[in-house]
Amino acid sequence: MRKLIYIFIAVCLMSIQGCDDGDIITVELDFEDEFSACEGVSDLVFYKTKDDPSESLSVLISNYTLDEILATGTDGTFSVEKSATFYYRTYSDESLPSTLFCNDIPEEVTISSSESDDCTAEIITVLTKDDEDGILAILEDINGNGDLTDDDTDGDGLADYIDWDDDGDNILTEDENPDPNGDGDLEDAQDTDGDGIPDYLDADDDGDGVLTRDEENDSQDQRPNNDITNSDVGADYLNPAVATTVSATAYREHTIYETYVVTVTLQDISLSFLSQDSFDFGVLSDSSLTSSESITPDFE
């Protein structure tokens, strides 16, 4: 939570309250860490509001769009500094409507006071991708060099951290018990054949000489887990007594989840009650920042 308290010798804040020279006034800006965004005809607005008392902080950037700050480069990052106008407002209303910004101000809303200041908005965007396979991305650095993009266990063109079937056996990683107790320690990952390679990285889970993806004896649907010869043992790919080969012809479709994290820092703010070189405005909260894409790797 952004909680800032400023005490200053009275410079009357418009109509917030009357005061005499020499009075000491405490202004408390108590806002959540997250902020919202909306676009006008040609402007981008970042804002946050609160009730009791009703206040808002907003940042106006002219001739700019949300799409522009989401245009990350090949490294998944974007940063820019833009001239902006910072607003602090108080309202007579006990609570504020959700449509307060980027719309005509509703008639029932009365602004008690308003202050604005020209400043610089530093915007940083980081795009993160993940397969949500039950393993933290940082733990999918198999070669330990700190670079997640060059770890591709099955060689299908998708790095393990965005590949929800790391070993390419058409059994999803999350279904191969990579972290049975969910403690983030993969030392207890399921290893059916005891060969020291956990199932989620083992192309032949039961060690019978037949690749897991080729053990589709009932139906070739890229799902070996529903091919069961002996129900007492389970799926054929985990049963070393069944070693029938039915060659796979395709990988399963993969889903990659993308999340943009946008932070804004304001530089050189100077209001009547606030002078600060740097102010952390927070993290953008917007449903458009999370999306997913589906990819089916080429089968070789």
Tens digit of each residue's pLDDT (9 = 90 or more) over 216-259: 988 889 999 999 999 999 999 999 999 999 999 999 999 999 99
Instruction: Tell me the pLDDT tens digit for each residue of 270-300.
Output: 888 878 889 999 999 999 999 999 999 999 7
Residue 100 has pLDDT above 90, yes or no: no
Task: Taking residues 155-183, report their average pLDDT.
Answer: 96
The pLDDT of residue 24 = 38
Three-class secondary structure assignment of 56-115: EEEEEEECCCHHHHCCCCCCCEEEEEEEEEEEEEEECCCCCCCCCCCCCCCCCCCEEEEE
- Region 192-209: mean pLDDT is 98
Return the SS3 of 140. Answer: helix
pLDDT at 171 over 50: yes
- What would the pLDDT profile of 139-155 be if each residue is shown by its tens digit? 999 999 999 999 999 99
Q: Sorting pLDDT into bands at 50, 70 and 90, what band is 105?
A: low
pLDDT for position 272: 86
The conformation of residue 261, written as its DSSP 8-state character, comes to: E
At 213 the three-state DSSP class reads helix
Confidence tier at 101 by pLDDT (50, 70, 90): confident
Tell me the range of 42-51, 96-105, 123-132 where mean pLDDT is highest: 123-132
In contact, 158 and 152? CB cutoff 8 Å: yes
Q: How many Cβ atoms sit within 10 Å of the Cβ of residue 116?
A: 13
Tell me the mean pLDDT in the region 162-190. Answer: 96
Q: How many CB atoms lie within 10 A of CB 144?
A: 7
Res 166: pLDDT:
98
User: What is the per-residue pLDDT for 104?
Assistant: 64
The reported pLDDT for the residue numbered 162 is 97
Task: Look at 19 and 196; give whichever has higher pLDDT.
Answer: 196
pTM score: 0.78
Percent of the chain at pLDDT exceeding 70: 89
Average pLDDT of the chain to the nearest whole number: 88
Task: Report whether pLDDT(15) > 80.
Answer: no
Does residue 27 have a pLDDT over 80? no
Q: Where are the domains of the chain?
A: 33-123+263-288
Region label for 56, one of left (φ > 0), alpha (ψ between -120 and 50) or beta (otherwise): beta
